[in-house]
Structure 1
Amino acid sequence: MTTPVGLLDVLFQFAFYYPITMSFLWMIGGLYYFFRRERGTPLRDDPPRMKAYPMASLLVPCHNEEDNVAETIAALDAQVYPDFEIIAINDGSSDGTGAALDALARQYPRLRVLHLASNQGKANALRMGTLAARSEYLVCVDGDALLDEYATHWMMWHLTSGPRVGAVTGNPRVRNRSTLLGRLQVGEFSSIIGMIKRAQRVYGRLFTVSGVICAFRRTALHSVGYWSDDMVTEDIDISWRLQIAHWDIRYEPNAMCFILMPETLRGLWNQRLRWAKGGVEVALRHGTDLFNWRRRRMWGVLAEYSLSVVWAYVMLSIMVLWLLGKFVALPEHLTVDTLLPRWHGMVLGVVCLLQFAISLLIDRRYEPRIGRNYYWMVWYPAAYWLLALFTTVAALPMTLLQRRNRRAVWTSPDRGLR
């Protein structure tokens, strides 16, 4: 029988070894994906030929995007793909987004604009755009993002490659790099987020598509009831529901999309807290649906997410014990001397450098000069895990206590300094 002392020791060891183990899992999975599926394949400006080029509908849900939507529509209209339409959905914007879109519709013949009377949320805007679309294939892009000119071709190639491909997620790239926080996120999307998606494709299913750039088969969406309008992160929810229904989701790193990210600590916190709340919502709603042998490929995603929540609360417990030890005398087996890393810090630094080296090997195909943004990245994994820790700890009770079945509407995010 495990003694309390032994149990606490196990928890402390878990707090250190879990992030290190996950880093190695992502690195091994990312390398396997790269050598198996990326190395030697065509570059982004030389996409594979298709037997046919069916029409694609490019959907752009917008809420208060007056400052950004012109660039977004121009990038969509420049797609190197023979047959597509653009549908912009103005979801109750309170600024000049509606007038800007109407002016753009006169400039771009492919563009149609839908105006919704009130803010009903991104999920509803996407659903309305789908109803108006003339194609079986939908490419969804946020109203402040710039889609690479070859991205539609790459995603359409996947969607038409097999009848069970329900969605394709692209490769978001941070474009506002004027501050240290912006540059750190360049490395994050490369060495952490991109690597996680590659690894998840190797060992099972994806946790989520990237909501800023993804493509769907309309038949797949119809089979699961489209997007849920009461989920904080509609992209995580639709990813789980599609995969539970046995639709495949692909990851295509050549389908690049340049996005705006927060460059203030408050903006970054709000964004990551929303992501964390979305993860909790999805796990609570769909977690029990996975206890079925036919859905076993989702078990890795559920296990990875569940362990991340456990790790966050284990770390919180260690911090609380350290803080209590400053005011009261605790038993020896509950005493935490310091939160500062000792030999653990050296291990973390080595793993960090190894992870960045691997991400540079992979990502130089897509941005040859990306390494110049990595100068300050050596400690980012520590910051990444701390941010994940505190947002997860905050998100779980907030989600459990929030009112159910409430529509998730738009809130204007921090889009950085440009």
Structure 2
Amino acid sequence: MSQVTNPLLTALFQFAFFYPIVMSFFWISGGLYYYFRRERKGRVRTDPPPLENAPFASILIPCHNEGDHVHETIAAALAQRYPQFEVIAINDGSRDDTGEKLNRLAALHPQLRVVHLDRNLGKANAMRMGALAARSDYLVCIDGDALLDEYAMHWMVWHLCSGTRVGAVTGNPRIRNRSTLLGRLQVGEFSSIIGMIKRAQRVYGRIFTVSGVICAFRRSALHRIGYWSDSMVTEDIDISWRLQMDHWDIRYEPNAMCFILMPETLGGLWKQRLRWAQGGVEVLIRHGRDLLSWRRRRMWAVLGEYVLSLAWAHIMALIIVLWALGLVVDLPEQLRVTTLLPSWHGVILALICLLQFAASIVIDRQYETGVGRNYYWMIWYPMAYWLLSFTTTVAALPKALSKRRGTRATWVSPDRGIR
């Protein structure tokens, strides 16, 4: 923990220390409550709740330069244990052989339809075209490299059918490339951080975002809010906020799993997390003021948590800048940061992290066998995650502020790991 004599800076630095601890306890308590209340004695993945009159449903798969993955993605989508459904693949101006492979697959599988777009207009536009082409009010949406679990569609449609105000369901993405330290760290991250946060947010009222790689929507709810926005860098965060601002409920279903590829290089991970951070700031800028009304008070917890996370990132940046300046400039005593070494504070943070990882193992073991062996690598996680989190957040703020409103957000093929 840094040592300063200025009272204001001392208060800010104390916030930087206590914020992750307090949030960890919120996530742990909420995640465990969700687990013991809804998962421990609930059904397992292979035993979803019965649907007496299972409605016709649609799977939407936007694809841009997915020639390497499209065969296995489509095969997993067609293997759903669900009575009646269609698969719609949207080829968003791919420059590789994605379109040709999709056409060959469509000729073999009557359930598959392909929509070809002549140029890359972004994932949001591709999803909207797929939704308009769908013959169902229930839309399961996955990425072009995701392998959908065979029971995932049943679980998600069941939620949409269980309440007329359920507008969306977010699923449980699992990492399938684990050949490097970055890959193994992300295995723990998706369970001990992302999965636990979604459980806790569901308990406390509202979810910050659906997982864009696996989610389901009621099309009539999307129609009310105008579908996905093609000017937002992260369409999943934006659609989540707008649905909940329109008083639709978003649920989390950990049994709805899919297996995804994640970046395993520092450059790829940086680009991905910078895009996520920029998307969060863009959504805050566009919708933050609208959330202040009393009618939308259930979103205040999400808004407050995100604003505090932004403050934490910039305070951390201030600590490091003052420390670095002190190495080359003789700063006044009130602004001097003598050390960045955590001292006893680091021991406390490490213990909290271990507690959070232990809780996530208890929760997550029923969804994937052998997941605990990856937690050996999680000793590196606090440093890696917090460093990446605050640097991308600080870098994303000026990018979001300088972005011209209405600019279309197109996409490029992301880093899919080391093959």
Is the shorter-chain TM-score for this pair beyond 0.5, marking a shared fold? yes
Match of residue 36 from structure 2: 35
Residue by residue over 1:78-111, the C-alpha shift from the partner in whole angstroms, topping out at 9 and shown as x without a partner, is 0000010000000000000000000111222200
Match of residue 14 from structure 2: 13
Match of residue 379 from structure 2: 378
Query: 4+ residue runs of structure 1 moved beyond 2 angstroms?
Result: none
Q: Post-superposition shift, 1:30?
A: 0.4
Q: What letter matches 1:371 in structure 2? A: G
Structure 1 CA distance, aligned partners of 2:293 and 2:204?
18
Residue by residue over 1:5-25, the C-alpha shift from the partner in whole angstroms, topping out at 9 and shown as x without a partner, is 221110010111111111111
Structure 1 CA distance, aligned partners of 2:329 and 2:67?
56
Q: Post-superposition shift, 1:329?
A: 1.7
Structure 2 alignment gaps of length 5 or more: none
Equivalences for residues 251-266 of structure 1 within 5 A: 251-266=252-267
Structure 2 CA distance, aligned partners of 1:262 and 1:167?
27
Q: What letter matches 2:211 in structure 1? A: S
Match of residue 399 from structure 1: 400
Match of residue 147 from structure 2: 146
Equivalences for residues 231-250 of structure 1 within 5 A: 231-250=232-251
Q: What letter matches 2:208 in structure 1? A: F
Structure 2 CA distance, aligned partners of 1:108 and 1:179?
36
Structure 2 CA distance, aligned partners of 1:249 and 1:12?
35
Structure 2 CA distance, aligned partners of 1:248 and 1:81?
24
Match of residue 351 from structure 1: 352
Q: Post-superposition shift, 1:51?
A: 2.7
The structure with higher relative contact order (CA 8 Å, sep 6+) is: 2
1:394 match: secondary structure: helix
Check 1:347–1:379 CA distance in 2 against 1; reply closer, same or farther (3 A cut). Answer: farther
Structure 1 CA distance, aligned partners of 2:144 and 2:121?
16
2:251 match: secondary structure: strand
Structure 2 CA distance, aligned partners of 1:266 and 1:132?
36
TM-score by length of 2: 0.98
Structure 2 CA distance, aligned partners of 1:377 and 1:259?
20
Equivalences for residues 30-179 of structure 1 within 5 A: 30-179=31-180
Match of residue 185 from structure 2: 184
Q: Post-superposition shift, 1:332?
A: 2.0
The answer to whether the 8 Å contact 1:349/1:379 transfers is no
Residue by residue over 1:186-241, the C-alpha shift from the partner in whole angstroms, topping out at 9 and shown as x without a partner, is 00000000000001111121100000000000110000000000000000000000
2:328 match: secondary structure: coil
> Does the alignment pair 1:216 with 2:217?
yes
Structure 1 CA distance, aligned partners of 2:382 and 2:86?
41
Structure 1 CA distance, aligned partners of 2:380 and 2:350?
7
Q: What letter matches 1:79 in structure 2? A: Q
Identify the range of structure 1 (110-119 vs 334-343) with the bigger mean alpha-carbon deviation.
Answer: 334-343
Structure 2 CA distance, aligned partners of 1:268 and 1:19?
22
Structure 2 CA distance, aligned partners of 1:344 and 1:383?
17
RMSD: 0.9
Match of residue 308 from structure 2: 307
The answer to whether the 8 Å contact 1:140/1:213 transfers is yes
Q: Percent identity?
A: 73
Structure 2 CA distance, aligned partners of 1:310 and 1:411?
30
Structure 1 CA distance, aligned partners of 2:205 and 2:334?
39
Structure 1 alignment gaps of length 5 or more: none
Total equivalences in the alignment: 415
